[in-house]
Structure 1
Amino acid sequence: MNSKPVRIALVDDHALLRNGLASLVTSFEGYEVLFQADNGKDFIAQLEHYPAPDLVLLDITMPEMNGFETADWIKQNLPAVKVLVLSVMDNDSIIISMLKKGARGYILKDSKPAVFRQALDNIRDTGFYINELISNKMLNYVTQESSHTVKETSIISQLSEKEIAFLQMACTEMTYKEIAESMSLSPRTIDGYRDELLKKLNVQSRIGLVTFAIKNGLYKL
């Protein structure tokens, strides 16, 4: 457990929700709210008066500078700062895009406080928190623990070059049909790679595949 509290910045244009989150964060032992911002531009301006936070709670849909732009700015300028996305959107391409921009976790705004706390704790302790979003429900939590790392390294060594290539392409905006064309393979073969990797990696969706690839350095952010 860290002796110093985790300093958090909240970036969301909905003041009422943001203030509620701030109160919730303050109620958690080991966390403190450093400052709040209405959008990415306001976040950058606040850094003139505050030190960089340890963690940013980031909304996606905001005026002037949205979550995509803000996450990208943080990745380029404050690489040590971790980002947890809080959004109402559970679209696969949006989640993948935020992961590629450096987000360490992604949860829905209607998540229960216990899930929110777990996300904060996982990011603090292991650096990562991603939950599978299927049928708008959170099903599985993927956390980066040392025991998992050894197991995952062993799994990677058993993957073929084409499976790794498929994993890397799955991290892009390409559809499965486009991946098949790029790899000069039939869509049925690509579906086979996907289904086999879902079993091997013990995940349930494309988001799970992307998370595994990013965590294990198979796709460079």
Structure 2
Amino acid sequence: MIPTKKISIAMADDHAMLRKGLIKLLTVIGNYDALFDVDSGNEVIEQLKNHKIPDVLILDVNMAGRDGQQTAQWVSSHFPQVKILALSMFNDEATILRMIQAGAKGYITKNNDPEKLKEAIDTLYQKGIYLPESLSEKLFSGIKNNVLAIPEEPGLELTAKEKEFLSLLTQELSYKEIADRMFLSPRTIDDYRIKLTKKLNVKGKSGLIIYAINNGLR
């Protein structure tokens, strides 16, 4: 019997105990070859430049320095053959959309058990994409509400405050937290939300987030 090819994996997460524990466990329960585990996006880049190129890269979304989104953008641009599986504590549509926009082909939350992570890796390797049903509903809801929107008119200009609001919206902040950051009342922030959805001709929070990401406001 010809042995099945091992899937090469790598992981970036700035929580060393979690990262090393998961990598060790994955090599026990799955048919994997662990190429490297590091604690930052910059180290991922160094490893890839040194020709350690995994089939699947498990990438923490929130890391100090070069975060998961920035790392995913670099990896997908320079090593598109690497399948990126985003790993996060968050399951909101803003985070999911940002990572998929950045090049991730899969997304899983940290509250899942190791067997679910194994399933995600195997599915991503075999099919090229992985998104559990609970998260795909959030994602497609966001896309549905924005994809049919009429593009903005050429020359449409945003004020500095509007750009700041859109930028903060991509950072997983609540409207109250955005109000605090901008030193404005929640009512004023709500007015920004309503006016911008009309001005940009998008629908809901996800539409504003997609606009901000597509226009570099993050």
Normalising by the residue count of structure 1, what TM-score does the alignment of the two structures yield?
0.61
Q: Which has the higher strand share?
A: 1
The question of whether the paired residues in 2 share the 8 Å contact of 1:25 and 1:32 is answered with no
2:126 aligned with 1:125, yes or no? yes
Residues matched between the structures, number: 163
Q: Which has the higher contact order (CA 8 A, sep 6+)?
A: 2
The question of whether the paired residues in 2 share the 8 Å contact of 1:9 and 1:34 is answered with yes
Distance 1:4 1:64, change over 3 A: same
2:108 aligned with 1:107, yes or no? yes
Normalising by the residue count of structure 2, what TM-score does the alignment of the two structures yield?
0.62
CA distance in 2 between partners of 1:71 and 1:122 (Å): 19
Task: State the percentage of identical aligned residues.
Answer: 32
The question of whether the paired residues in 2 share the 8 Å contact of 1:11 and 1:59 is answered with yes
Distance 1:21 1:167, change over 3 A: farther
The question of whether the paired residues in 1 share the 8 Å contact of 2:87 and 2:109 is answered with yes
CA distance in 1 between partners of 2:70 and 2:116 (Å): 26
**CA radius of gyration, larger in:** 2
CA distance in 2 between partners of 1:61 and 1:84 (Å): 13
Quote the offset at 1:176 in angstroms.
8.9
Q: Where does residue 165 of structure 1 map in the other structure?
A: 148
CA distance in 2 between partners of 1:53 and 1:13 (Å): 19
The question of whether the paired residues in 2 share the 8 Å contact of 1:34 and 1:50 is answered with no
Q: Where does residue 45 of structure 1 map in the other structure?
A: 46
**Map of 1:140-151 to 2, 5 A cutoff?**
none
Cα deviation, 1:76-110, whole Å, max 9, x if unaligned, reads: 11111110011111221111000111111111111
Cα deviation, 1:119-169, whole Å, max 9, x if unaligned, reads: 112101111111244xxxx697x9xxxxxxxxxxxxxxxxxxx99524999
The question of whether the paired residues in 2 share the 8 Å contact of 1:95 and 1:106 is answered with yes
The question of whether the paired residues in 1 share the 8 Å contact of 2:57 and 2:83 is answered with yes
Distance 1:67 1:180, change over 3 A: same
Q: Where does residue 75 of structure 1 map in the other structure?
A: 76
Q: Where does residue 19 of structure 1 map in the other structure?
A: 20
**Map of 1:20-35 to 2, 5 A cutoff?**
20-35=21-36
The question of whether the paired residues in 1 share the 8 Å contact of 2:12 and 2:58 is answered with yes
Which sections of structure 2, spanning at least 5 residues, go unmatched?
Answer: 140-144, 153-169, 171-192, 211-218
How well do the aligned residues superpose, as a CA RMSD in angstroms? Answer: 3.5
Runs of 4+ aligned residues of structure 1 deviating over 3 Å after TM superposition are 166-169, 175-183
Q: Where does residue 215 of structure 1 map in the other structure?
A: none
The question of whether the paired residues in 1 share the 8 Å contact of 2:9 and 2:32 is answered with yes
Distance 1:71 1:48, change over 3 A: closer
SS in 2 for 1:107: strand
